Structure 1
Amino acid sequence: MSRDVRTDAEVLASWQRNATPWIAAVRGGEIASRRLVTDAAVLDAVLACAPRSVIDLGCGEGWLALALARRGVAVTGVDAVPELVDAARAAGLTDCRLLTYEQVAQGALHCRADAVVCNFSLIGSTSVDALLRAVPTLLAPQGALIVQTLHPLVACGDEPYVDSWRAGSWAGFSSAFRDAPPWYFRTLESWIALLDLSGLDLRALREPLDPRSGKPASVLFMAQRRG
């Protein structure tokens, strides 16, 4: 088994262990960057595409999917963690499916939508590569992909600015969290190249600023299905 495959599995295992405190943190408004910047940023980006239907890949406990549904959008949520899927369904997300990214990449998600959104949910390496290559098959013609993720220039820290696995951290979270998942760091150039290789044309790039630091809280890629 390659290191990438093993580490992608470790990402999922960590989220399975931390599902309960994650649900509490999101629903309790404990994550300051989300309250201040990133939740509104991704919601605005999706709504700017005026979609009638959306697939939320890595929907977690369902906050974004439910926010879109309240605005009249038909939403299909997808997550690989049973506890998160159960929480989303219990909160009212009627179409929420338990699937891994590998399963989606292999064609297990039998639906299409006007937009696909991945909100801080593209953490791994090979699983993410395969997932993004499958995204055009999930999109209606001229459909949009919206990705919000850590801004590479801010998240890089003191490490070399090269694609590589990084150690995770729950710094700033409650003591209920443990064994932070590793994550795969990608440069800005690598993200853009991956979108292009996946048959998607980058239409816009946004850098929502954190009012506390004046630095980007995230980066948003808005791409369109090619052809």
Structure 2
Amino acid sequence: HQWRAESDGILSTATTVLADNAALTVRDAELPPAMAMAMAPDRVILDRRGRLLDQLFLKLFEPDERGGPITLVVGTRFANQRYEAMCNAHGYGLIVLPDDGRHLDLKQLMQVLGSGEDRLTQLMVEAGPTLAGQLLDQGLVQRLVVMTGPLLLGDAQAAPMVVTQPVSRIDEAVPLTLMNVWAGDDSNIIADYRLVSGCCSDGLHHKAH
């Protein structure tokens, strides 16, 4: 939650919101409520297929002073009057992006979020391996924060941390520079990396679990 408070915005997906019922608010016992409200980052949700239409029972949409403004990002193929009406009725921002049938144009999204009076300069990503991999493949990540716990889970069907383009040689791997490491009282270890190359100018941060 401290990282959320330090960011201008949080980027997530409809898949993550639906699976976790995530509110994406700043809930930190060490922060006074007034400060948490003042530091609440914008919440930007990729909803390419418009799956969040009529899903207002989710925690994301509950009134909460610890949650920042909501912007929904939908693909051109699924943008319709009902979706626009929902956003207008509840005060949500709406961004419509080109949709190739599988993915949104993430580079265009960064340009939109990084422009205008309310531009975001530091964006934290809380999502699954697919979006994380797409951002890495397109050079849209500057920072990678990885948390590991004292547990080993083996499953042939388990999701990886990121899904990137296949790498056949070690020199094709994404190079990282370790900047800091923290060990928590709960034995969790947090490693803070910077990407050696492929950075964007929008200050995009990705946090991976």
Bucket of the pairwise TM-score, normalised by the shorter protein: 0.3 to 0.5
Rg larger for: 2
- TM-score relative to the length of structure 1: 0.41
- TM-score relative to the length of structure 2: 0.44
Which structure's residues are more often helix, by fraction? 1
